[in-house]
A and B are shown apart, each in its own frame.
Chain A
Amino acid sequence: MPIKIVILPEKNMQPVHKAQAGTFESSDIMILIEPLDNDGDNHIELSSSVGKQFKDQINRDITELLQKYEITGARIIAKDKGALSPTIKARVETAVLRSLDKQQGTLK
């Protein structure tokens, strides 16, 4: 049976430090995340090459992932180059885990 690694989300987590995931390549998305000094709202700043059509969808994907980990007080900067939903979620998840010190960046 394959081993599945599950990282259990904790409640109401705030990023510990800034982190990033993704690349600038086509069909990918670059995610930057940093903790905010506020009342716990998340801010998403999205720019996308397909924004006109898919802005809402991308925002929904990001928000969904943040809700899954119950992230609060984070600022997300997303530079999209036409990434598909699974890519977006994977990149956001990696960025979130890195910012929580649960996963290391490749160049660290």
Chain B
Amino acid sequence: MSFENADFREEVLDISNPYDVKFVSEFLAKLDFEYNEYDVDYTMVLYNLNEEIIGTGSFKKHILKYVAVAPKFRNTIAFSQIVTHLMDKLLLEHKHIFVYTLPRNTELFQGLGFTEIATAPPLFSVLEFGYENIKTYQDYIRKSKIETSSRPVSALVVNCNPFTNGHKFLIEKASRESRVLYLFVVEEDKSSFPFEIRWKLIEKGIAHLDNVVMLKSSHYVVSGTIFPSYFLKNQPENEISMKQAELDIQTFIRYIVPILGITRRYVGTEDYCKTTLAYNNAMKKLLPKSGVELVEVPRIKIDSGIENQGIVSASKIRAAIKNDQLQEVFPFLPEVTKDFLLSSESEEIKQKIKEGEGRH
């Protein structure tokens, strides 16, 4: 059986129309996908001339989702036609496309020119495509590398939302104990404080340390906020976050450790966030095997005079902003952050935190 390209009609789905959504949901349900229209920005459907649905594909931001073809049409060009259609759209705005898929499907995407970055069997693999790729990022970190023969060479990943004395303490300690410290700042802007502000505050706050190199995390270090749980509905949740963390750490070991010659990774202990806890546990499991020592640093306590509030954490700062009690958390903050929060520059961010809900 063979099909001409013209046999297939491409159509864009109206996500705001419940009938359209129901139509695609039913098609995808048969193929074990749980379609969620809030999880996509764009969906396309492929039909043949008999109005049969051949396949569908969607994307959210720069991530391909729900790409599926009916079993009957898998020997046709449907799959590549769907991916081509989505890429035409995506590449207008993004330089860098990702897809999460089951490890057994990686071959399909590799056949289209995608490159596998990491796999956490048996649940998922991540692949990329575009103008920028992992090599672009490796070139970027290579440029900042400081050649040294003495050890340890350490890495530390921080979000700093916002920069507190806890972060400062952790960075200072790691810097003191290392020959060189590479400080990765999470670039993904899902935090209340935008990346540029976080970067600037850290930069000022650690200006006195001369062996610290600041690096942007890009998509490769702790981009765990992208949760591909949509095709993993039957898996227990903690297993998913564990696997998600594994992907991230594997990427770190495979592409970053060898370039920078990292021998040690620092991390703050985690008391309340389950996702971060899963992340730290996965690090304990994987890093020592690859010759990277893991150093857990307990959070520092500062006597602030408030009951049960001694442990420094950025979420407390955000809570204080929300409740207009900024004065009370001043003991937790370094000068740079304090100055920033008192300046007019931070008005907009503070307003957003007050209005917003959620943890980040």
Per DSSP, are chain B's interface residues mostly helix, strand or loop, or mixed? helix
Q: Does A66 contact B (CB under 8 A)?
A: no
* CB-defined A-B contacts under 8 Å, sample of 25: A18-B91, A18-B95, A20-B88, A20-B91, A23-B80, A23-B84, A24-B80, A24-B87, A24-B113, A25-B5, A25-B77, A25-B81, A25-B84, A26-B77, A30-B87, A32-B91, A32-B130, A32-B131, A47-B113, A75-B131, A79-B112, A107-B88, A107-B89, A107-B92, A108-B92
B contact residues, total (Cβ < 8 Å)? 17
Interface string of A24-66 (1 = CB under 8 A from B): 1110001010100000000000010100000000000000000
In the complex, how many angstroms separate the beta carbon of B96 from the nearest chain A beta carbon? 11
Q: Does B305 contact A (CB under 8 A)?
A: no
A-B contact count (CB 8 A): 45
| Residues on B facing A (Cβ under 8 Å) | 5, 77, 80-81, 83-84, 87-89, 91-92, 95, 111-113, 130-131
**Cβ contact within 8 Å between A34 and B131:** yes
Complex CA gap A81/B81 in Å reads: 14
Name A75's closest neighbour in chain B (CB-CB).
B131
B131 CB contacts on chain A under 8 angstroms:
18, 32, 34, 75, 77
**Cβ contact within 8 Å between B88 and A25:** no
| Residues on A facing B (Cβ under 8 Å) | 18, 20, 23-26, 30, 32, 34, 47, 49, 75, 77, 79, 81, 105-108
Given A18-B131, A23-B80, A49 and B111 contact (CB-CB distance below 8 Å): yes
**Cβ contact within 8 Å between B112 and A24:** yes
Complex CA gap A24/B5 in Å reads: 13
**Cβ contact within 8 Å between B81 and A105:** no
B84 CB contacts on chain A under 8 angstroms:
23-25, 30
In the complex, how many angstroms separate the beta carbon of A22 from the nearest chain B beta carbon? 8
In the complex, how many angstroms separate the beta carbon of A66 from the nearest chain B beta carbon? 17
Given A32-B130, A32-B131, A79-B112, A23 and B91 contact (CB-CB distance below 8 Å): no
